[in-house]
Amino acid sequence: MSADEDGLIRLFVGLPLPHDGAVKMSQAARGVAGLQAVAADDLHITLRYLGDVERTRLDAVDDALARVRKKPFTVGVAGCGVFEQAEEDILYARIESVRQVTDLCALVTDRLGALDFDFGPRPFVPHITLGRARPASWSPKSLKIIDKSMRYSWVAEAFMLYESGGAGRYRVRAVYPLRS
């Protein structure tokens, strides 16, 4: 377990992708000139970003997430889009099963909210970040090239608590099976 000198650990809750789908999406993203693609092993749908959390709170976070109840469901990906920002654009895969993913996010939010995590007013937009690029370094026309390859679906059977170590690599800290 990595933590900084203050005993903090950077965490987020996410929905993992099966390896074959992640590889397919990552390979397609690597084909976009100027895009810094996310590695296949790091692709996920972020449900909630917790930020820097005191290590003493880890057991409470784990207990809260273990109480989330939702049946497994199908997640679909259909196409891609761009979140345009001043510093960098974010290329993402669109999620078709928005309601199912949003419902899971709401359950996670409720459980973690009881621990006084504040997620602010920003709306939840389910997506898979495929890569980042400076606006002048790539062409959004590239989306047409990979849009058709962004078709994939799977049955989500678990969500995870991830640790972010900084260098773009994530470590799974806990797995929470979906069940009713």
Summarize pLDDT for 55-102 with one digit per residue, the tens: 999 999 999 999 999 999 999 999 999 998 888 999 999 999 899 999
**Reported pTM:** 0.90
Spatial distance between the Cα atoms of 125 and 122, rounded to a whole number of angstroms:
9
pLDDT digits (tens, 9 = 90+) for 108-126: 999 999 999 989 888 899 9
Per the prediction, the chain carries an average pLDDT of: 91
Bridge-partner residues for 44, per DSSP? Answer: 16
What is the CB neighbour count within 10 angstroms for residue 161? 23
Spatial distance between the Cα atoms of 77 and 94, rounded to a whole number of angstroms:
6
Band of pLDDT at residue 3, cut at 50, 70 and 90:
very low
pLDDT digits (tens, 9 = 90+) for 165-178: 766 689 999 999 99
Tell me the domains of the chain and their CATH numbers.
Answer: 8-177 (3.90.1140.10)
Residue 80 three-state SS:
strand
State which amino acid sits at residue 63. D
Band of pLDDT at residue 4, cut at 50, 70 and 90:
very low
State which amino acid sits at residue 84. E
Spatial distance between the Cα atoms of 44 and 172, rounded to a whole number of angstroms:
11
